[in-house]
Structure 1
Amino acid sequence: MLYKQFLLFAVVLAVFSCAMAADVSLVQSQQAAWEDKGSGFSIWEVTLTNDCGRTIKDITIVGEKNFNLRNGTSDIWGVDCLTGHRFHLPSYVRDHGIPAKSSVKFGYINNGYQSAEFSFCETQYM
């Protein structure tokens, strides 16, 4: 009997974790692309949307696969750099938060013509 209760708890926790992971969605659109001295570059606009029912105060955005900024952190805007490939919302957004179903935008210049992949962690709510 205890095994069934533990299994039920694990399933509920897994469903809850998956639901919490879907707090935000991200859409990227390429704004421009060019070649310079044999290397390709692209500018990307990123729309981060709050898909949960609560106001998000802050969220850590992590650059993952294919995240290769042209000139380091000077080529990403609309977010504040924490360390390495980790960013969070700028203070003017954190002051008011991102209400449910609302969006914020940031952008970056990447080496190559593909968008980067991002993950999210450490979501804080108001």
Structure 2
Amino acid sequence: MAPMADRISELPNELLFLILSFLPTEDIIATSLVSKRWRSLWLSVLTLDFDEDRYFKRHPDKQDYEQQRRCFIDFVRATLQARGSNQPIKGFRLLTCEDFHEHYVKTVLHNVTSQERSIQKFE
């Protein structure tokens, strides 16, 4: 039996960016393990979606609630820093719990808005 062809990797980058834009940011970053071509592809996706609740469910090993929260903010910050300030963001979504500390939200907002980015949709 012949191996299956990897047709998705044959798609143009613009189409891959569109497909990836429908995924949570963690999943987009995980695609960097697929192949050499995909290693830096996630850096050019125009939509970022961060959900604190989804992050906590994926990382149940962290017992301390505040530790989980700090890890989530560190993940958001590291993602933005890895992309660099020259990468535009078409859409940015940050879902947090009700009692999310104002300081954390301000930190994320500062990282997104202080750099020269053109953001079209901010949630």
Fold agreement, TM-score > 0.5: no
- Structure with larger RCO (C-alpha < 8 A, sep 6+): 1
Output the TM-score relative to the length of structure 1: 0.28
Q: Which has the larger radius of gyration?
A: 1
